[in-house]
């Protein structure tokens, strides 16, 4: 029966899987190890549906039961998923504790050893969100190395993408990180060329190139790369969001606030299409900052209003984005 539950998850029938898991737990009659497996499947499905609080509760139950029964492979999987759920709730200390616990039990694993690369990656991203770039870079280097040695292209590619973002952040204080990014981009290009029919790889690679060019002080070339990235993979709203943000920065660097405004508004639309509240908040903040700093210049460029001492004072901020929740 637990195998049937796992099949529902693998088929992407997440709501049905959660309902079935809840029914199974209510009926009872399962061993503690089986209950741990049911809770873990429920946790993973809830993560897919962005029911993060429910994922935490299911993950905690899975960890407790697996540890109680000495089911270490089950425990390793549960710790990874519980840590992911905590990180999604910005509970970073709890997330780090889960990832560290995974490594603590490493000698006991068999199947769960294959999750090591994913744990390094999630550890790095968690440190990145805590604004601890040195620790993030170390963990992500370990992640990309683990995947590369095993020739797991997707894991290596996504880990390097995160590592590139960390190094670009660090390059504001240490320009040598731009050299490290350039080396990583060559390796990303190799993987992207192996998958010419999959837009994720080429689109992400070009987006990373554009961010590197922008940090290197070449906004014109950065805008070309970001536009190509958007053209390669236009149907993914999260990817479109990040492309438009880079294009917004490129426009500001080229002293074109009107063009920058267009890209910020496009990013706002992409954030709403992605149904991602964090992206919506970020887009709103960037839009407000742009209007406050460049509102007068935008009005001058649009030719809609004379610039006088009144306008030169304070431009009102736009209201927060609101999604249609009906």
If you compute the radius of gyration of the chain from its CA atoms, what whole number of angstroms results?
23
Confidence class of residue 307 from pLDDT cuts 50, 70 and 90? very low
Per the CB < 8 A criterion, the answer to whether 239 and 207 are in contact is yes
Per the CB < 8 A criterion, the answer to whether 91 and 59 are in contact is no
At 324 the pLDDT is 38
Q: What are the boundaries of each domain within the chain?
A: 1-109, 195-326
Indicate whether 306 pLDDT > 60. Answer: no
Q: Which of 24-28, 72-76, 208-212 has the lowest mean pLDDT?
A: 24-28
Compare 304 and 74 and report the one with higher pLDDT.
74
Indicate whether 305 pLDDT > 60. Answer: no
At 283 the pLDDT is 92
Confidence class of residue 303 from pLDDT cuts 50, 70 and 90? low
Instruction: Answer yes or no: same fold for 1-109 and 195-326.
Output: yes
Q: Which residue, chain included where needed, has tokens 């993987």? A: 191
How crowded is residue 141: how many other Cβ atoms within 10 Å of its Cβ? 17
* Superfamily holding 1-109: Tetratricopeptide repeat domain (1.25.40.10)
Tokens representing 248? 């917004």
Q: Which residue, chain included where needed, has tokens 């920065």? A: 249
Q: From CA 136, how far away is CA 129, in angstroms rounded?
A: 9
Query: What's the Cα-to-Cα distance from 209 to each of 16, 73, 157, rounded to whole Å?
Result: 41, 39, 14
Query: What's the Cα-to-Cα distance from 203 to each of 227, 238, 312, rounded to whole Å?
Result: 10, 12, 40
At 326 the pLDDT is 29
Query: In the Cβ-directed half-sphere of 277, how many Cα atoms lie within 13 Å?
Result: 4
| Selection from 321, 211, 308, 226 nearest residue 274 by Cα | 321
| Selection from 174, 159, 162 nearest residue 129 by Cα | 162
Confidence class of residue 205 from pLDDT cuts 50, 70 and 90? very high
Q: From CA 141, how far away is CA 133, in angstroms rounded?
A: 12
CATH ID of 195-326, from 1.10.150.120, 1.25.40.10, 3.40.190.10, 3.90.550.10: 1.25.40.10
Compare 313 and 284 and report the one with higher pLDDT.
284
At 301 the pLDDT is 64
Per the CB < 8 A criterion, the answer to whether 295 and 258 are in contact is no
**Model pLDDT for residues 180-197, shown as the tens digit of each residue:** 999 999 999 999 999 999
Predicted TM-score (pTM) of the model is 0.87
């Amino acid at each position: 029966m637990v195998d049937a539950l796992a099949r529902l998850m693998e088929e992407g029938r997440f709501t049905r899987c959660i309902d079935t898991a809840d029914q199974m737990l209510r009926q009872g009659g399962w061993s503690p190890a089986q209950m741990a497996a049911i809770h873990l499947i429920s946790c993973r499905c809830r993560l897919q549906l962005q029911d993060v609080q429910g994922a935490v509760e299911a993950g905690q139950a899975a960890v407790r039961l697996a540890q109680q029964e000495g089911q270490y492979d089950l425990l390793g999987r549960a710790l990874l998923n519980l840590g992911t759920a905590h990180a999604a709730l910005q509970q970073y200390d709890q997330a780090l504790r889960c990832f560290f616990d995974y490594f603590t039990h490493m000698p006991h694993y068999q199947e769960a050893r294959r999750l090591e690369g994913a744990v390094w990656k999630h550890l790095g991203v968690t440190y990145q969100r805590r604004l601890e770039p040195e620790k993030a870079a170390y963990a992500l280097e370990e992640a990309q190395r683990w995947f590369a040695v095993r020739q797991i292209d997707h894991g290596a590619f996504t880990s390097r993408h995160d590592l590139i973002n960390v190094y670009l952040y660090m390059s504001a204080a240490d320009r040598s990180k731009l050299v490290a990014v350039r080396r990583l981009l060559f390796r990303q290009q190799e993987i992207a060329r192996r998958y010419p029919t999959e837009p994720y790889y080429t689109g992400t690679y070009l987006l990373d190139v554009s961010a590197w060019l922008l940090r290197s002080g070449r906004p014109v070339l950065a805008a070309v790369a970001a536009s190509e990235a958007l053209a390669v993979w236009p149907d993914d709203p999260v990817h479109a969001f990040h492309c438009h943000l880079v294009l917004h920065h490129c426009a500001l660097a080229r002293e074109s606030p009107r063009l920058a405004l267009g890209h910020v508004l496009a990013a706002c639309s992409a954030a709403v299409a992605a149904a991602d509240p964090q992206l919506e908040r970020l887009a709103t903040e960037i839009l407000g900052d742009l209007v406050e700093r460049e509102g007068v210049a935008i009005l001058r460029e649009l030719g809609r209003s004379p610039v006088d001492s009144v306008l030169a004072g304070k431009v009102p901020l736009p209201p927060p984005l609101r999604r249609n929740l009906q």
